[in-house]
Structure 1
């Protein structure tokens, strides 16, 4: 066991006026299974890069371990997988590698295939196995679940559960709950560490947020009451002071000493109330700094003239001589939230593209309603570039509504001035989702919409789909999201 000590860490990107981190202090035990969470754009990947020494910073990071980043960058993906393993971890015993592959349920024969022929799940498992062979290394595992199907996620989660000595960035709640024992969270104003899994952290956060919101309301009422009381007392004191130079109704002279004493007493009371009021204001200023604002999203879907929007009967899809799926049959009816499930490579994305209208070769019967309008969110965000204003105009959506949705998804106004290509992976995905929510359509088709998206935004999207019940067909490997959202599951 050793410690990673972070002291007075301060960092901002060159040319930026905003600090990503400012005077941050905490320590990490290298035996921990540490889950790393925070909203998109808060600096999770930046912090991992600081540990790797990629950027200059002020403050100090001290550690007696070597850091290793996942996913490992592979120069030549066409070489044999065994050669890729040797490049990552030259000094290992073959039996050790086989032990790791056994835990991950990967057969030995994949080692003798070109790396680029392996599925995403197989590549992820092989790279994790190779990295955990390294001794005295603290692993920085950055979003390993993206593009993994549910079965692969469960296997990788179970594997990490048997390990220790890593930071894991993931937004999949069930995945984190199974394999971490501490949570490192980047909040709005600080970084904090708590013992327990994600659900423990989230329960504590909600409890703290509710306490602060209740205290805030109480102090707001106290400040208002004290303000009104101070104002009344000040007026009374002023009126009493004026009577020193007047006379009583009986015509006798006033007792200026008594009245002066009474006025001073009232003024003292007024000052006391003002002091209490200021104390209440000071206490209130300490609250709500880390309460995440997750305003409700809205969707306005068009009603279709028929209850059934589309139907597939015994559909098979082929690419050349390769069959990706066979005998697929299901219908899409208004109000249904359909999860398309299956292992990677089972044809889920191909089915979505077929229904959306792309030129996909298929056999069988496929029907969809005439004049059916569809909004599509793809997995790919690499095409996104330019500013948000031009993007809204080129896609024919309302710019104000588009930016309002992004604000609700935790975009700062500073982001609106940046080029989309500079956004984080999660922020780019939010651009696609916000665009989709702005489009007036009968059906939404989303292909792995939650990749890279933070947990709080996932919960906002869940609430949206549950409240408005739009017709949606989606592929998503976040188990909890699917369980909460899907009204029907189609297994390929």
Structure 2
């Protein structure tokens, strides 16, 4: 049993005055199955790169093992998969690879197909298998679930649960619960490690947050009470001191010694109250530092004169001569929250694009109301570049509302000045979601909106959809989100 030691780690990107890490210290056991969580932009992927020595930093990272990082870069995707793996892990033992592929339910024939011809799910499984065919490695696994359907997530979760010695970045709650035994969380002001699953960590965090908020409220009341008491006592002391040169009712002189003693006693009491007040303020300042702000989101969806918005009857979609999905029947009515489910390659995205008005080749019948206004969120974020202000203007949405939603999704104000191309994957997805929430539409169509998006933001979006019940058709492989939000599920074969 060995440990990775991180001591006084400090790092900021060149030219940035906004440090990602500052004076961070902790220890990781190399036998752990460590889930890594935290809101987007907090530095999870950056930390994995620091472990690999990709950036200069101050402080020390001491590791007794070598690191491998998923996803591996694939320089020649047109090569056969077996050759791609040889480039990634030179001289690997074939039997070890086959052992891992069998566990992941991947057939041997994929090795003899061009890597680029594999589905994204197959590519993910092949690269995960490559991670586990070498010895004495600590594995850094960065969001492997983004291209896995619900069935594949369960399979890969069980696979990782049978392993140990890795850090896993994922925002899928059910997936983390399936395969980790410790949680490393990047909070607002610190980094902490707890033993257990994501659910146990979240329960502990919620309990701690609740305690701190109650304690904060109590201390706030104590501070106000002590402040008023201190002012009254100080006032009484001052009045008594002033009376030292006054007279009694009979005209005789006051006992100045007695009055002075009483004034000193009152002043001492005031000082004691003031010290208690300062102690309460200091204790209060230690609270609420890591409570995540998760303000409620809002959506304004237009009402349509008819309840039935779109109907697909026996629809088959083609790319060239290839049918990507067959004989789909679907009716979208106002208030529906329809989840499109199915394995990778079953045509889920194609169905959303056709429903959204894209001119795909198909047979069957598609009826869509002619005045229907649709807000569409794509899987792809690669087009996002330039300023948020220009993006808002380009899409005709209210810039102030747009940025308010982003703030509620944990965007720091400093992000508003940056080029979107520099945003993390989760931040880019939040830009698309925030734009969609600003658009006036009768129907929202979202294609895997939660890829890379942090857990707390996922919960905010869940609560939004449950509270406002907009009409939405979506594809999403996060099981918790799917089960909570969907009112109907359409399964593609």
TM bin (shorter chain): over 0.9
Following superposition, the deviation at residue 139 of structure 1 comes to: 0.7
Aligned equivalents of 2:325 and 2:297: distance in 1? 35
2:321 corresponds to which residue? Answer: 321
Deviations 1:230-267 (A, max 9, x none): 00001111111111111112222111111111011000
Following superposition, the deviation at residue 112 of structure 1 comes to: 1.1
Following superposition, the deviation at residue 151 of structure 1 comes to: 1.1
For residues 376-415 of structure 1, the aligned pairs below 5 Å read: 376-415=376-415
For residues 295-334 of structure 1, the aligned pairs below 5 Å read: 295-334=295-334
1:117 aligns with 2:113: no
Which runs of no fewer than 5 residues in structure 2 stay unpaired? none
Aligned equivalents of 1:61 and 1:352: distance in 2? 46
1:240 aligns with 2:240: yes
1:432 aligns with 2:432: yes
2:132 corresponds to which residue? Answer: 132
1:83 corresponds to which residue? Answer: 83
1:164 corresponds to which residue? Answer: 164
Aligned equivalents of 1:422 and 1:141: distance in 2? 22
For residues 250-399 of structure 1, the aligned pairs below 5 Å read: 250-399=250-399
Normalising by structure 1, we get a TM-score of 0.99
Following superposition, the deviation at residue 86 of structure 1 comes to: 1.6
Aligned equivalents of 1:17 and 1:9: distance in 2? 16
Alignment coverage as a number of residue pairs? 492
Question: Aligned with 2:122: secondary structure?
Answer: helix
Deviations 1:397-451 (A, max 9, x none): 0011000000000000000000111100000000000000000111100000000
Following superposition, the deviation at residue 199 of structure 1 comes to: 0.3
Question: Aligned with 1:146: secondary structure?
Answer: helix
Aligned equivalents of 2:80 and 2:386: distance in 1? 39
Following superposition, the deviation at residue 469 of structure 1 comes to: 0.4
Consecutive aligned runs of 4 or more in structure 1 exceeding 6 Å deviation: none
Question: Aligned with 1:211: secondary structure?
Answer: helix
Aligned equivalents of 1:95 and 1:46: distance in 2? 34
1:249 corresponds to which residue? Answer: 249
Question: Aligned with 1:465: secondary structure?
Answer: helix
Following superposition, the deviation at residue 299 of structure 1 comes to: 0.6
Following superposition, the deviation at residue 91 of structure 1 comes to: 3.1
Following superposition, the deviation at residue 108 of structure 1 comes to: 1.1
CA contact (8 A) 1:88 1:131 kept: no
Following superposition, the deviation at residue 93 of structure 1 comes to: 2.3
1:68 corresponds to which residue? Answer: 68
Aligned equivalents of 2:250 and 2:467: distance in 1? 73
1:463 corresponds to which residue? Answer: 463
Following superposition, the deviation at residue 59 of structure 1 comes to: 0.3
Which runs of no fewer than 5 residues in structure 1 stay unpaired? none
Following superposition, the deviation at residue 82 of structure 1 comes to: 1.0
Aligned equivalents of 1:190 and 1:74: distance in 2? 35
Following superposition, the deviation at residue 90 of structure 1 comes to: 2.3
Question: Aligned with 2:147: secondary structure?
Answer: coil
1:24 corresponds to which residue? Answer: 24
2:181 corresponds to which residue? Answer: 181
Aligned equivalents of 2:488 and 2:232: distance in 1? 64
Aligned equivalents of 1:93 and 1:378: distance in 2? 40
1:230 aligns with 2:235: no
Aligned Cα root-mean-square deviation (Å): 0.7
Deviations 1:289-325 (A, max 9, x none): 1000100000111111011111100000011111001
1:144 corresponds to which residue? Answer: 144
Aligned equivalents of 1:345 and 1:319: distance in 2? 12
Aligned equivalents of 1:432 and 1:98: distance in 2? 40
Aligned equivalents of 1:249 and 1:402: distance in 2? 72
2:98 corresponds to which residue? Answer: 98
